[in-house]
Structure 1
Amino acid sequence: MARAGAVEPSVAKQSTLSGIRLPKKAAISGHAKLLAHPAYEKLLAAEPLLRRLIPILIVIFLLIVGAARFVELYQHKAEREYDARETMGLIAAVLSSALDKAHPGETAADTDAIRATLSATLPSSATNNGRMIYVTDHDGLVVATAPRNAEFEGLPLVRILGETQPLTIFGVRAGVLEISLADGTPALATVHHLEGGAGDVAVIAPLASVYSSWRADVSLNVAIFMGTSAILLVILYGYFAQASRAVEADEIYSETQARSETALMRGRCGLWDWDLASGRMFWSRSMFEIIGLEPRDALIGFGEVSNLMHPDDGDLMALAESLYEAGEATVDQMFRMRHADGRWVWLRARAELVDRDTGGPHLIGIAVDVTEQMRLVERSKTADIRLRDAIETISEAFVLWDADNRLVMCNSKYQQLHGMPDSALAPGTPYADVIAAGRKPLVRAQVVVDGRPEEGARSFELQLEDGRWLQINERRTKDGGFVSIGTDITQLKRHEAKLIDGERRLMATIADLRQSRQKLEMQAQQMVELAEKYAEEKDRAEGANRAKSEFLANISHELRTPLNAIIGFSEVMQSGMFGPLGSAKYGEYCKDINQSGAYLLGVIDDILDMSRIEAGRMALTLEDLVLDDLVEESIRIVQAQADARNIKVVTDIGKNLRMRGDRKALKQIMLNLLSNAVKFTLEGEITVRARTTGTAVTFSVEDTGIGISSTSLAKLGRPFEQVSNQFTKSHQGSGLGLAITTSLTELHGGSIRIRSREGHGTIVSVRLPVDAGSHPRSTGA
């Protein structure tokens, strides 16, 4: 490479090659000349500019001509309009002057005279180009027209000119204006007023008539311009046709060259021609692309190419010398060249030595980029090594056989499990010899695969001498061989044995569960029978309860009649209405009879109330109440009894406590609570509180009496239940007061709460909704 690098691409310095004399001056034959005729070169350089410039010049010429004609035609149009305006103004002025002289101060009522004046005054050209002349009276009605048109006579002038024009107002001061007539026709118009307000003279010329001759000129100019443009375009087409033929010829050459370059680029090939005499090389554009260099048309020096080659792959000079020494004409060699980004590119050069015996020998051929193939070879080697490492490191025994049942490869796990020597595992050893060299299994069983087995596949299990189990899976390969993988399933076999034993135990458990289920079914049947018996007993108990309530109601009614007589006669005897009884003891007896009868009557009333409540026949009569007044009434009833026992009643009642409920029932609730508080308080005080909290009313009675033990609180509120202690034994009662209070509270949708400590007093709180009708409840039996 050092020698190659020292060689300069100079014809004078490189004049010999392996002792063969070469001409000092030699050209690369077969190549296009780098320089053409100077004039043709200038023409080629200027041709793109001309192809762009000529159409631009023609377009500019046409634009200038068109603009000039447009300006001229526009001026003609303005002149035509100016002449029309002047003519109209002159006609209107002459006609109005003639009418003023012929009919001074008249109202232009004489239509015939006006028409005669029009005929005498107006020349024949006054109504050319569609001009219309209208003469109106002092009311603005058309009385005469020129040329004569009876359709407009008698019409208001504003209907002809339109409502929005200013001509009829300003007259001659408005001049000649462009307006839209009543029917939408654009026109020029002027109006002159006659003297003394006798009428108006109006001259109208439609724009279409004013510009008719101008439009004819425009059409003629447009035709001339289009003809001129067509001629220039034909000339331009002829020029481009000739130029296109030349370009087409160049494109054919370029396309042919481009296709060759494309084919070379797609095939990653580079064309090169080495002039051995001059030491210079020609490279195709694809060759530059392979190396990553910028393509250029100049020849490449020998030293530049040598510097790109890898030092371990030889040099070009040695290659050329070897061809001459061996007398060969072809070259097929692989080498590396440095890419522009610094990496090495593998190339396979195929070339032929031509013109060996002439003065200009050339080595011509192609260089193919084989970098990807070399990388694939390296990757294949790496993949083969990785595959062997992977097979060796797997935990299963692996062995591969070819189509002739000869060993291809296996891992050490296979050798270890079957106890095979190294000599029996040489690649190419027949299957029978390998199997004979290993340990014989104790058990060999075919594994049945569910469904349709895979073609060319089988599985079986082996038990080795040391007690281990292997599952062998074999599959056919595409080349006719097969691969065998052995997996150690010793743990699976032991687990399988445990599962079988567990299954037996499970079956026994299932049998026990089946027996237990039968027992449960029998117990469920017994529970159904008990439930039916319970329902029957419940119906009987409810019937007995209803019979009891009806009996109590009936017996209570039977007892009220004699009791009323006893109470009444005792009061008569006690008052001595029919004379004294005699002994004082009789008075005491009468008092006892009266008190006992009243007590018994109260008990009977309580029994009747309780019976109605339990039977569900207690209906509330709801009305709007003031609770604080009701509480005050209840306190006044028990106040005498409290004073007799030296008990102070303290109230803490809010003002204007309103609610909706049954007055009698609420008063009974309060009286029962207050009576109990007075009855079971020896002395001290009773506190009555009443408050409204949102949608509820709370009424509570707190005493300092004997109190109730926690074990006896559960009995309160039940019918005929009384708390028995040393104090209550001296107080008679039915035990229904608190039960009735509880039932009435629940009928209102409320609740009752009792808090008490034995020897410290009791607090009974009743919570009722403000509107008992929105919270109805039933306490039926």
Structure 2
Amino acid sequence: MARAGEAIASADWRTRIPGRLNRVAFAGHAKLFVHPAYARLVNTEPYVKRLIPVLIVLFVLALGGMRVIVLFEERDVIDVRARAQIGLVARALASDLLSGDRLPSMTEPSELVQGRLENLLPARATAMERSIYVLNPDGMIIAAAPDPEGVVGRQLGSIIGFGQPLTTLGQLAGVLAITLPDGEDVLAAVHHNAARTASVAVIQPYSGVFADWRRTVSREATIFVATSVVLVILGFAFHAQAARAQEADAIYAETQSRFHMALRRGHSGLWDWDLARGTLFWSPSMFEILGIVPRNRLLSVADVSELVHPEDLDLLDLANALVTAGSGTVDQEFRMRHADGHWIWVRARAEVVSDREHEPHLVGIAVDVTEQKRLQEASRMADLRLRDAVEAISEAFVLWDAGNRLVLCNSKFQELYDVPSELVRPGTPYDAIIRSGTRPEITTSTALREAGGPESVSVEARIADGRWLQISERRTKDGGFVSVGTDITALKRNESQLLENERILTATVADLRQSRQKLERQAQQLVDLAEKYALEKEKAEDANRVKSEFLANVSHELRTPLNAIIGFSDMMLSGVFGALGDRKYAEYCSDIRQSGEYLLGVISDILDMARLEAGHVELDIEAIDLEQMVGGILDENGADAEAAGVALVAEIDDRVHLFGDRKALRQVVGNLVSNAVKFTPAGGSVQVECRRRGENVFFIVEDTGIGMPAAALSKIGQPFEQVQSQMTRSHRGSGLGLAISRALVDLHGGQMRIQSAPGVGTRVTVILPRRPRIETGGIAAA
């Protein structure tokens, strides 16, 4: 294969290439190969960073030491010069002031001596804090400059100290460095005249001698500190720049690492095809995709062509096509040979760009799409299997998308709806199929909406040939819907037979109602007999036992047909064998089921009461968590309370436990809460409390209902007793709930107390021992 550069050498790449490539940004990973000096600089940079601070410190120390030496040498020169000037001034004044024909008197201070001194002073004689005194033979100061005030008339010894060699030796002592009594260091010189009738003393403090030198030292120190600070700042700047460069290298390395990691995780590889030179650069992830050990990241076109499937792509033809068509992008899928011999699918996306030298490059990525190809094939096979499965079912099946367009249907749907074959294709609108096909006649429709789920619709329809269909439609999660049509012609044929059965069942229900009324009258008669013979204990116990046995037997006999009535009414309501037809039938069945359930509940209460009175109830004692038990009861009555508009409130002490029969105590509390909710009007409240007081547990159920008069409290808790009022007449009941509750409380050795007032409410308190004792409690009215 010829080089790609030779194939496109005649093309004008500068006019065809749409963009420019920043080669530094693109070829950063190859910088160490192209610029080896950069690698050497990176290697020596740590040593340079350590050497720079040492050089700065050495330079600062050398500069400081040199300036200190120069300044101290200058100080010595200033000291010598100052001594010479003091000696010269003293000698000159002694010579000029104390010589001449008409000398003033030198024994006492006078203006003549002071004026002569001031006239003879040389220029700058008193500069730099220098003081000049004229002395008489006794050492008293008779004239002074520059300030005679407070000095004239004093002894020189009081200023420089007595016993100084200057006062006796004079000029022979020269210029001496002495310390004044006040501790100040000075230079002093004394010169006598020839007759020793007067003398001149010159005193200059060291502070004045070295004033200019100190200013020079301050200036030099300032310059030295500024120079040192600048050097330190430069050193820190170098370190900051080096640290920034190191951080930039670390960021670059981290970026490259993440970039290659992203390519590796994405099963992608970077391509850079230098079209002019015919070489390709691959990222490490590209070698990993093909399972090749990277010996050199720069590959020739021939090396890559050997890996590409010849039926999918020719690299040379691709380069020529880019030049001929003037297109700057490539997006193509092709196969490449893996290292272990199998083929993988690769999708390459690239763009032709040029670098700063205007050399053309095809730069982009290659993504391993082998798994995507496999999934596409698996999806295609799954679609074929789905179509075969839909075609194989016996019902009419059709699937619509969110836009009411056909997605999939079977031949059964086409046959039943008489849809033309040219419309049975994906994307056909729903309206077009309905207009072209045969629309069935819908007779019944039922719509069901699941909580938080899609809507389901079930309809019965009759088609033109007389057959009946049960059509069920359901919304899909994407907004479309699926429809399934089932042939129910055979079920419809049995409908007449079901209607006849329903008539017979209705007659049976009427007979059962008469039986129920008879049983209610018999129950009332039994209650009257119990009240009538209450005074005769022995006869009453016999009658009560006979009554209990009779009720138990009758109740057992009634429960069997009632279970059949409830079961058959449930079957008719659920439509197990088909719809009932007229809506009234469903209402009748619902009434039958409700009446049967109510009668069954009454019979169950009668059985419970009979078992309690006969003494056949045995307690199953166990530890009970009252918070859990009462919470369950409140949950059971919550819906009824909410429907009645009654607030249900509970206050239960923590960790209250009781030993008793769980089922019996649950029945007691449940009856009390249910009655309180039942007889509390809308807007009222029912409060349930559970407290422990010593060894007893108190259950308190208090409502804001209609209440009861005091005369009725004595009868509450007796079997079949009810308080008749305008509100209670609207609520059905056997009157056994409180009686059963009282009997169960008695079995636990507890008590039941009722407090009530009309229009105020009722408060029922149940007191139970934590460990039951078999004692007869009672029910007290307050």
Q: If the length of structure 2 is used for normalisation, what is the TM-score?
A: 0.34
Q: If the length of structure 1 is used for normalisation, what is the TM-score?
A: 0.34
Larger radius of gyration: 1
